[in-house]
Every structure is written in structure tokens, then in C-alpha cells.
Amino acid sequence: AYLGWRQSAPPVRAVVIPPPRFIGLSTTFTVVLEAARGRIAQAEVRIAQGGGGAVVLTQPTSAGSRLETSVTIQGATLGLREGAATLEVWARDDYWRPLRRTDAPAASIPVTIDLTPPSIDVLAATQYVSQGGGGIVVFRLRGGDAAEVRAGTLAFPSFPAGDGGARVALIGLPWDFRPGTPLTVAAHDEAGNAASRGVPTEVRTRHFRSDRIRLAESFLETKVPELLPQRPPTQPLLDGFLLINRDLRRQAEEEKRRAALRTASHALWEGAFVQPRNTKVFSNFAEMRTYFYGGREVDRQVHLGYDLASFRQSPVPAANKGVVAFAGPMTIYGNAVIVDHGLGLQTLYGHLSSAGVKAGDSVEKGQELGRTGTTGLAMGDHLHFEVLVDGVSITPVEWWDAKWIRDHIDRPLEQAGLPTLGGTAPRAAAAKRTLAGDPGRHPRASRR
């Protein structure tokens, strides 16, 4: 009975986290081993293929009854061929049993060996993009699972564009993007194999205006309690304003990035975007605002849109066709609406006194979204209007201009032999179909 009890002790248990489906040029996972009796004496990771294979890791150990180790497999160094294989984890403990247990791996996972990185061909791109401006990159991807255009620390998603692996990515560079920073298309496949290609787009410098804003006591007395209802009564008004102008401004930027995930996988817009009629521009994109209180400078912030004014509570039209991605309070922008136009392109409407749409509503170009107002950190009745690409604010002037769209968006598509977007192409090309597809999730929605 005693010997039977010793023999019945279970073997070492192995878990692979996450269990890989592919082994590529570099594949990393974690192996967790647990011994029911005794201590783990040895661990080995192998790739078995067609009667042969390779040992990836051999690790004598006296780690106790539990071992957790990270394993990285460099697939090209193992002499394996592409195709089916098995990942095996072998382990034994030092617990004595009367009879040797039948050799069997503690874990066995079917995998596919894939050592071929994706292929990227850049077909065309906007020739030059200015700071705070937009453009497009068109490329063909083969053997890849996902691809994006990288601009410094930013990554812009790409979307399918017809047959043959063609993809498009709209890009939008921040106002302070550094010229000389490379733009690249980066792709990877399910095996983790990666590839990248440079984008032949020149980034140009653009100069922006500055403005000086004097904070009146009456303005602070109105806006600080409105935007910070939880503020202690003893807190100075200026401290409350700085909290709004800095922290709540950052929260609004985070909301823009969340809204960017709710974009269609095809173009929803038609033609140039429209500016509300009979409006006067009294604040420009990327103005550096210096705030003064009591005769001294207290803060600096960059204004990321256009301020457009007409008469009080004037109608606010949708700049183009799309679907409402956000509608509700947005800190410094007050009551706000974000309309998605597809492919990561969106427009924001802030300081509204009222909104007549809700998230998920389809809207037409020119359809009333709401009325202008003074909600948020507004000093007077006006519309704060932004154009965004994947949550990055860019100048609206470009997308108001049909010629700019033809030259900087549609022309690269034509050079790549693809249909144009949004019906803005010259008449000779009007017969071409537009890029279309089913609305889908943002390619990075699960990673944000």
C-alpha cells in the first residue's frame, strides 16, 4: 500500500502562458511548473517536428515545488522548417517512486512554424505634411496581421482598401511634431514577425500665432464653481482655474483618444467639410495662449481648434456625413459632440448650449447637431471646432478645402491605382467607386 501510494503521486504540472499558436523569428511565453510532491529537479522546452526537433531550454533547478520562467524562442536559429510542429514542456521532480513513470511531456501544444516576416510595399503618400496637418499613406501588405503608420511616438491605424492587400492610413501630425522625425509603415503577423518601411513624406515647419488672455475676476467667479462643483470654498479661484485649465484639459484629450476608437473602417464623408455659415474666426488652431491674472502670467496652453462665432445660440451644422461617436459633457469644452467620418477622421463641436444628437446617430452634412453656447471654459458664445485624426487635433483649414483634399488625399490614392475617398475626385475620375466596407472596430480597440 505504501509503495502504491508513492507511485500514485502525480507528475509535475506545466502551464504555458499564453499558449502560442505560432513560433516566429522571436516568440516569448512563460512556463509555470508545479510539483505535487517533492521539488522540481529539471525542466526542458523542446520543439518537435517530423521525428526531429530542437531543444530550446534545459534548466536544472532546485527552485522548490514551483518554477516560473520566461522562454524566448529565436525560430530562425533552430534549423526548423516552416509548417506544423509541437511545443513540448518536459519536467521531472525529485520525489522517489518505486517505478519510473512513462516518459511523456508535461505539456504539449501544436504550433505552426512561421519565419517569414510580412511584406510591405509603400505605393504612395502625401508628398509633404506640415506641422498640425494631415495626409494619407497607401501601401500593400502581404502576410501581415496588422499594420500602422508610425510618426514618432504616434501610431495611426490602417484600413483595407480594395483587393490585393492594399491598405490606407490617414495621418495627422501634432502642431509641435518635429520635422525630420521619420514616418514608417510597421506591420506584424500572428507569429510576431515584424517588418517596417519608410514613408517618403516631407514634414514641413508651420508657424502659429500667439494670444494673451487676461482673466477677469467675474469670469473666474462664474466658471470655476461651474466646472469644479466639488471645489472647497476656501480654495482661491486662481487655483481652481489652473486645475481646470491643466488637469481637466488633459482629461478632455483622453476623451478624444477614446472617441477615436469608435471609427468606421471606411470613409463616411462626402466632399469637402463645411464651415458654419456667417461665422467669424476669432481664435486659430495651435495658438499659444498666455494667461494673465492680476497683471502677471499664470499659465500657458495651446488652443487646438478654431473658435467660430455668429449670433447667440446659432445652429451648429455637421461638417460632413458621419456617425456621432460622442455626445455629452467634456470638461473644458462643455457640452460637446464628436462626429466620426471613418478611417480615424473625426470632428469635434464644443461649448454647445444644447445638443440634439446622441452617440450612434447617423448625421448628414449640414444637419444641425446643436446650438452654440458658453458651456465649458468659454468666455463668450461661440463654437469650438476641431478636426482630429485618431485623436490628434489638426488644422481644420485643410479639410475645409476641396482642392487640398484632391491634392493631398485623393492624388496618392490615384497614384496607387485605388479609388478616391468621399467623392472629391475630379470629374474625370468620378466614375471610380469609392472605398467602402462594413463599419468595424478600430484596429487597436482591444489594445487601448
Over the stretch 365-411, which tens digit does the pLDDT of each residue have? Answer: 999 999 999 999 999 999 999 999 999 999 999 999 999 999 999 99
Contact 232, 310 (CB under 8 A): no
Q: How many CB atoms lie within 10 A of CB 111?
A: 21
Mean pLDDT of 84-112: 89
pLDDT at 443: 61
| Cα–Cα distance measured from residue 361 to residue 369, given in angstroms and rounded to the nearest whole number | 10
Cα dist from 146 to 52, 157, 345, 447, whole Å: 33, 9, 19, 12
Do strands 315-317 and 322-329 pair parallel, antiparallel, or not at all (unpaired)?
A: unpaired
Mean pLDDT of 413-424: 87
Contact 206, 173 (CB under 8 A): no
Q: Is 260 left (phi over 0), alpha (psi -120 to 50) or beta?
A: alpha
| Cα–Cα distance measured from residue 319 to residue 272, given in angstroms and rounded to the nearest whole number | 9
Residue identified by cell 484632391 is 406
Of the pLDDT bands very low, low, confident and very high (cuts 50, 70, 90), residue 424 is low
Of the pLDDT bands very low, low, confident and very high (cuts 50, 70, 90), residue 432 is very low
| Cα–Cα distance measured from residue 306 to residue 399, given in angstroms and rounded to the nearest whole number | 13
Of the pLDDT bands very low, low, confident and very high (cuts 50, 70, 90), residue 103 is confident
Of the pLDDT bands very low, low, confident and very high (cuts 50, 70, 90), residue 51 is confident
pLDDT at 351: 99
pLDDT at 437: 41
Cell triple for 433: 467607386
Min mean pLDDT across 49-58, 190-199, 268-277, 291-300 is at 49-58
Q: Is the pLDDT at 431 greater than 70, yes or no? A: no
Burial class, 314, CB count within 10 angstroms (exposed 0-12 / middle 13-18 / buried 19+): buried
Query: What ranges make up the beta strands (E) of 341-396?
Result: 345-355, 362-363, 368-372, 383-389, 392-394
Name the average pLDDT for the chain.
92
| Cα–Cα distance measured from residue 79 to residue 54, given in angstroms and rounded to the nearest whole number | 8
Return the percentage of the chain with pLDDT > 70, whole number: 93
Query: What ranges make up the beta strands (E) of 134-242?
Result: 134-142, 146-151, 154-157, 159-160, 166-172, 183-188, 194-198, 202-204, 210-214
Comparing CA positions, the residue from 154, 180, 176, 158 lying closest to residue 167 is 158
Q: How many CB atoms lie within 10 A of CB 336?
A: 28
Helix (H, G, I), strand (E, B) or coil at 304: coil
Of the pLDDT bands very low, low, confident and very high (cuts 50, 70, 90), residue 273 is very high
pLDDT at 61: 67
Min mean pLDDT across 3-7, 22-26, 144-148, 432-436 is at 432-436
Mean pLDDT of 199-222: 97
pLDDT at 410: 97
pLDDT at 427: 40
Of the pLDDT bands very low, low, confident and very high (cuts 50, 70, 90), residue 261 is very high
Return the percentage of the chain with pLDDT > 90, whole number: 82
341 secondary structure, DSSP code: -
pLDDT at 142: 96
Specify the length of the chain in residues: 448
Predicted model pTM: 0.87
Domains and CATH numbers, the chain: 2-113 (2.60.40.1930), 119-206+402-437 (2.60.40.10), 210-399 (2.70.70.10)
Of the pLDDT bands very low, low, confident and very high (cuts 50, 70, 90), residue 107 is very high
- Rounded to 5 degrees, what are φ and ψ at 256? -60, -45
Cell triple for 367: 444637419
pLDDT at 434: 42
Mean pLDDT of 317-323: 98
| Cα–Cα distance measured from residue 391 to residue 442, given in angstroms and rounded to the nearest whole number | 12
